[in-house]
Every structure is written in structure tokens, then in C-alpha cells.
Structure 1
Amino acid sequence: MAIKTLRQLVSADSCKTLVVKVGSALLVDANGQPREEWLSGLSAEIAAMHAKGQRVVVVSSGAIALGASRLHLDKGGRANLADAQAAASVGQIGLAGLWSSKLQTHGLNAAQILVTVGDLEDRRRYLNASSTLERLLDCGVVPIVNENDSVATEEIRFGDNDRLAARVGQAAGADAVLLLSDVDGLMDRDPSQAGARLIPIVEGVTDDIRSMASGSSASGLGSGGMISKIQAAEIAERAGIALAIINGTRDHPVSAAVDADLGTLFIPTRQDGGRRAWLGGRIAPAGSLTVDEGCIAALAKGASLLAAGITKVDGSFQRGELVSIKDADGCAIAQGLVEYDAAVCAALSGKRHEEQAEVLGHAPRSAVVHRDQMVLL
């Protein structure tokens, strides 16, 4: 059953598996202390969903904020990478214990899963994570997922739990992802501007929808913003997963939003297969290939990327790594797994198939990025 209303998100009939993302500012107050009463209310809601046969995965921020308070670190533990990693190391214990105690009150077991970008970007590790989530859910456990900020660096991290929630939704085979935010949903302009209007339904993310997003996080505690939520919706859409943004600041936030029918629901208009959804959702390309207009037109018709259409090569990628495919303005139009390393791509760029053997010293492969290993964005 396709999810077309917020109420269907909390119904096991239409949403067997739901991913709920909780931001730092909702779970931790300005002094770095957990908002115990609020979390008790949300835990009760999760328990009610579980009692009705719905499987729930929680993607929870808050480790850095909790740890920074315990270590008395400046700037909420985000002054530098070393502080953030130290705060996360301490805070992860507290965060897991907090969720475990609240859910145990309702007879539910919690499990902690810490992931990095690499765990979901690498196909084998992604499948391992998917298998673990499936088994935990089958056992009636509520997985609590967070980015492993104690080891992640700026270069290899999600940086926000919105996109992480969408990727976890793919791995868990979820029907929907629910992002608890500090706003009611996507507004048609900056919420501080007069006349800003909530967009209740979005059917497919377009350039117009992207233009409505703001990158700021009102609380200063989190790392996301509306831009990351739009990106999360695009990742979810590839797997046919609905995504909703609701205001999480209220007590019993899910019930409050559903009863008021207040939020933004992104209804997917496409559904890629499992591998293509995973490929399209990857966020850390090792480099990029800029292509000409003729190549762009061919890709839109389902063709593979040939060397003749490449005008520029950036990065130091190796064969088999993810590359972004861009137009002349630098806009990403596709991404896929490359058949040559960066140096060879640069040597082959602009050359037709019959010219490539002379450069390589052997017969060239059929494409630089084969259409079976590529997705349009």
C-alpha cells in the first residue's frame, strides 16, 4: 500500500518498517542534559507502534552533545575534530543507556549500531548492516543507529543524520522515514519571512523544491538543515521509501503531528532496484568526470559513458570506485562505478573507441562507466 498521508506512517498495514530520526536539539537541552520527559513520551509512542506490529528503527543524534557536557568541552564539543571524537566516545555510552532504559520501561530491548560512511558505501559491508538490522527487527528489538563520530573524520562522514536515516531506511528495507525536526516541515521560503507557507505533500524532488531549502540549523546543536533533509528525501525516493518531516519539539511529537496532519510528506515517484538504489544513494564519490552535451543527451537515453564524451577528470580514483558525472557547470547528473583509474581516464578523455587501443596498448573496455553500474540523479 502506497503511503500518502502522515497517519499511514504509524500504521503497520501501510508501513511495516519505519525509521525515526531524532536530532540533537530534541534529545539534549542547551546545557547538554538529556530531555528525559520528552524522550519518555517518544519512547511510549514507539512502544505503541511496536505493539501494533510495526517495526521501528531509531537513528539518534546526541552523542557529541551529551559527551561534551560530561567532559566540559567548549562549543558543544564541536570546536575541533579531536573534541568531537572524544565527546562522541563518552556520549555514545550515555546515549545508548538512555534509549535502553526508556524502551525497557515498555518491555522493549534496544540495540546499538554505530556506522560510518564506509559501512554503507561499501556494498559488502552495506549488505552486512542490512542483515544485522533485519535480524534485530525480527527479534523484536529497536535498533538505535548513530554515526560513529568517535572514528569518523570530516572527509569520510555523513555529517548529518538525515541522510544517514535515509540510507538506514534503504538497508532496513523500510517503508518510510520520519525526520523529527525543529520546524513543521518544508516551507516555500525561509520560515522567518512573512507569508512562508508549509508544503504538505511533495511528489518527487525537483529544482523548485531544492530552492526552498535552507542550510541553517536553528538550534546550533545539530549539523543538518533543510538541505540535508531534501537530500535524504532523494536518497529515500530511489528505494521507493516515503519520507516525512514533522515538528519534534512537542510532547509525544509523532501523535501531535499525525493528529494535526501537520508536516511535509515526500511521496516517491520512482523505485530503483536494490543495487541501483544503493548506488544512487552513495554520497562519497572519489572523483568526477565532466562530460559534454552530446554525452549528457546519450546518458539520458540510457547509454553508457564513453571516453569520447569526457572533457575533464578530477580526483585520484581507482578502477571500481564511485565517480560523479557532471555537466560543464559542475552540476552532478549521474554517478557510477568507473572502469579505469583517474590517470587512464584522463589519457582516454575525448578519444573515440578506435583511438583508445593505441593509448592503452590493448583493446579498451566497452565504456568508462557502464550503464549497468550507473544511475542518473
Structure 2
Amino acid sequence: MTIESLRDLTSAETCSTLVLKVGSSLLVDAKGQPRQEWLAGLVDEIAKMCALGQRIVVVSSGAIALGAARLGLPKGGRASLADAQAAASVGQIALSGLWSSLLEQRGLSAAQMLVTLGDLEERRRYLNASSTLSRLLEAGVVPVVNENDSVATEEIRFGDNDRLAARVGQAAGANAVILLSDVDGLMDRDPAEPGAQFVPIVRGVTDTIRAMAGAISGSGMGSGGMVSKIQAAEIAERAGISLAIINGQNQCPISRAVERNLGTIFVPTRQDGAKRAWLGGRIAPLGTLVVDEGCIAALAKGASLLAAGIVRVDGTFERSQLVTIADSDGCAIAQGLAEYDAETCVRLSGKRQSEQAEILGHAPRSAVVHRDHMVML
């Protein structure tokens, strides 16, 4: 059944598996201490949904904030990468213990899953994570997922738990994702502008919707904002997953949002196959292949990317690594797995297949990016 409203998110019939993302500013107060009363109310809601037959995955921020308070680190543990990693190492123990204790009090078992960008970007590791989530949910456990900030670097990380929640939603086979935020949802422009209107439902993310996003979140504790939430909605949409943004600042925020029908829900208008959804949700391409207009037209009709249509190669990548396919203005139109490394792509760019064998010294592959390993953006 299709999820069309916030009420559908709390029904096992329409939403059997739900991912719930909790941000740092909601879970931890300004002094770096857990907001115990608020968190207890949220766990009560989780327990009620589980009792009604829903399977819940929690994506929880807060490790850095909790650890920074315990270590007395400046700027909430974000003064340097080393501080953030140290704070995460200390805070993750506190965070997992917090969730485990509260869920156990309500008869539920918690499981900790720490993931890095590579765990969801590399196909084999992604499938392993998916299998683990599936087994935990089958066992009636509530997985609590967070990025492993103790080892993640600025160059190799999600950077926000909004997109992580959407990727976890894909891996868990979820029907929907809820992002608890510090705003009620999406506005059609900066809320400070006269005439700003609330957007209750979005059917497919478009350029118009992307233009509405702005840096609305001002807590200073987390790393997300409305831009990351729109990106998360796009990732979720590829897998046919609905995504909702609701205000988490109130006690029992999910019940409140449902009762008042207050929040923005993104209803997907597409559903790629499992592998294409995974490809489209990847966020760390290692290079860019700039192509001509004729190639763009061919790709739109379902063709593979041929070397003859490539006009420029940027970045450093190996065979089977993720690349973006872009037009001459740098606008991304697709992404996929390269059949050649960057150096070879440079040598082959603009060349027809009849010329490639002489350059390579052997028969060329059928494409630089095959359509079976590519997704249009």
C-alpha cells in the first residue's frame, strides 16, 4: 500500500519497516547531557509502534556531543578532526548504553551498528550490512545505527545522518524514513521572508523543490540542514521509500505530528531496481566523465556510455569505481561504475570503437559505463 500521509507512517499495514533519525540537538542538551525526559517519551512511541507490528530502525546522532561533554572538549568536540574522533569514541559507549537501557525497560532489545561511508558505498559490504539489518529486524531487535565517527575522516564520511538514514532505509528494505528535525518541515522559501508557505507533501524531488532548501537548522550541534534532508529524500525516492520531516522538539514528537498532520512527507514517484537504487544513492564518486549532447540524448534513451561521446575526464579512479556523467556545464545527469580507469578513459575519450583496439592493444570493452551499471539522476 502507498504511504500518502503522516498517519500512514505509524501503521504496520502501510509501513511495516520504519527508519527513525534522531539528531544531536534533540538528544543532547546544550551542556552535552542526554535529554532524558524527551528521549523516554520517544522510546515510548517506538515501543508502541513495535507492539503494533512495526519494525523500527533508529539512526542516532549524539556520540560526539556526549563524548565532548565527558572529555571537556571545546566547540562540542568539533574543534578538530582528532577531537571529534576522540569524542565519538567516548560518546558512542554512552549513546549505545542510553538506547539499550531505555529500550530494555520497555521489553525491547537494542543492537548497535556503526557504519562508515564505505560500508554502504561498496556493494559487497552494503549487502552484508543489509543482511545484518534484516536478521536483527526478524529477531525483533531495534538496530541503533550511527556513523563510526571515531575512524571516519572529513574526506570519507557521510557528514550528516539525514543521508545516512536514507541509505540505511534502502539497506533495511524500509517503507519510510522519518527525520526528526528542529523545524516543522519544508517551506517554499526562507521562513523569514514574507509570504513563506509550508509544503505538506512533495511528489518527487525536482529542481523547484531543491531550490526551496536552505540552511534552516541553527542548533550548531549537528551537521545537517534542509539541503541534506532534500538529498536524503532523493536517495529514499530511488528505492520507492517515503520520507517525512517532522519537528522533534516536542514531547512524543511522532504522535504530535500525526495528530496535527504537521510535517512534510515526500512521496516517491519512481522506484528503481535494488541495484540502481543503491547506485543512485551513492554519494562519493571519484571522477567525472563530461559528455557531448549526442551522448546525453543516447543515455536518456537507455544506451550505455561509449568512449566516442566523452569530451573530458576529471578525477582519479580505477575500474569498477563510481563516476559521475555530466554535461558541458558540469550538471550531473547520471552516475555508474567505470569499465576503465581514469588514465585509459582519457586515452579513449572521443574515439570510436574501431580506433580503440589500436590504442589498447586488445579488443575494447563494449562501453565505458554499461547501462546495467548506470543510473540516471
Amino acid in the other structure paired with 2:262: L
SS at 2:79 equivalent: coil
Q: Is the counterpart of residue 71 in structure 1 residue 71 in structure 2?
A: yes
Match of 2:362, SS state, is: coil
Identity of aligned residues (%): 76
List aligned pairs for 1:69-148, cutoff 5 A.
69-148=69-148
Alpha-carbon contact 1:186-1:213 (below 8 Å) kept: yes
Task: Name 2:376's counterpart in structure 1.
Answer: 376
For residues 188-238 of structure 1, the C-alpha deviation after alignment (integer angstroms, 9 at most, x for no partner) is 001222222110010000000000001353100110100100000000001
TM-aligned CA deviation for residue 304 of structure 1 = 0.5
Displacement of 1:180: 0.3
State whether residues 22 and 59 of structure 2, in contact with CA within 8 Å, keep that contact through their aligned partners in structure 1. yes
Is 36-45 or 280-289 further displaced after alignment?
A: 280-289
* 8 Å CA contact retained: 1:216, 1:224: no
Measure the CA separation in 2 of the matches of 1:293 and 1:317: 24
Tell me, in whole angstroms, the C-alpha distance in 1 between the residues paired with 2:331 and 2:111: 39
* Matched residue SS, 1:34: coil
The worse-fitting range, judged by mean Cα deviation, of 193-202 and 220-229 is 193-202
Secondary structure at the counterpart of residue 4 of structure 2:
coil
**2:337 maps to what in 1?**
337
Q: Indicate the residue corresponding to 2:358 in structure 1.
A: 358
Task: For residue 251 of structure 1, give the secondary structure of its aligned residue in structure 2.
Answer: coil
Q: CA deviation at 1:242?
A: 0.4
Tell me whether 1:236 sits opposite 2:236 in the alignment: yes
SS in 1 for 2:198: coil
- What's 2:195 paired with? 195
What SS is found at the alignment partner of 1:375? strand
Q: Which residue of 2 aligns with 1:51?
A: 51
| Alignment-mate amino acid for residue 313 of structure 2 | V
Q: What amino acid is aligned across from residue 204 of structure 1 in structure 2?
A: G
Q: Distance in 2 between matches of 1:104 and 1:46?
A: 12
Q: Which amino acid aligns with 2:320?
A: G
TM-score, length-scaled by structure 2: 0.99
Contact 2:183-2:217 within 8 A present in 1 as well: no
1:147 maps to a residue whose letter is: E
- Deviation of 1:4 after TM superposition, in Å, equals 0.2
Cα deviation, 1:131-169, whole Å, max 9, x if unaligned, reads: 111111111110000000000011110000000000000
The Cα shift of 1:6 comes to 0.3
2:151 partner amino acid: V
Do the aligned residues in 2 keep the contact of 1:321 with 1:338 (CA within 8 Å)? Answer: yes
Alignment of 1:1-377 (within 5 A): 1-377=1-377
The whole-number CA distance in structure 2 between the counterparts of 1:320 and 1:293 is 25
Distance 1:40 1:337, change over 3 A: same
- Residues 353 and 364 of structure 1 are in contact (CA less than 8 Å); yes or no, is this contact kept in structure 2? yes
Q: Tell me, yes or no, if the aligned pair for 1:147 and 1:158 is still in contact at 8 Å.
A: yes
Unaligned runs of 5+ in 1: none
Please state how far the C-alpha of 1:101 moved relative to its aligned partner.
1.1
Separation of aligned partners in 2, 1:257 and 1:331: 37
Q: CA deviation at 1:286?
A: 1.3
* C-alpha distance 373-186 of structure 1, shift in aligned 2 (>3 A): same
- Distance in 1, Cα, partners of 2:195 & 2:28: 31
Distance between the aligned counterparts of 1:331 and 1:212, measured in 2?
Answer: 19
Q: Secondary structure at the match of 1:155?
A: coil
In the superposition, the TM-score normalised over structure 1's length comes to 0.99
Between the aligned partners of 1:178 and 1:192, the Cα distance in structure 2 is: 25
Letter in 1 for 2:144: I
| 1:119 CA drift (Å) | 0.4
Contact 2:3/2:15 (CA < 8 Å) preserved in 1?
yes
The answer (yes or no) to whether the contact 1:215–1:228 under 8 Å persists in 2 is: no
Shift of 1:327: 1.0
Contact 2:237 2:270 in 1 (8 A): yes
SS in 2 for 1:154: coil
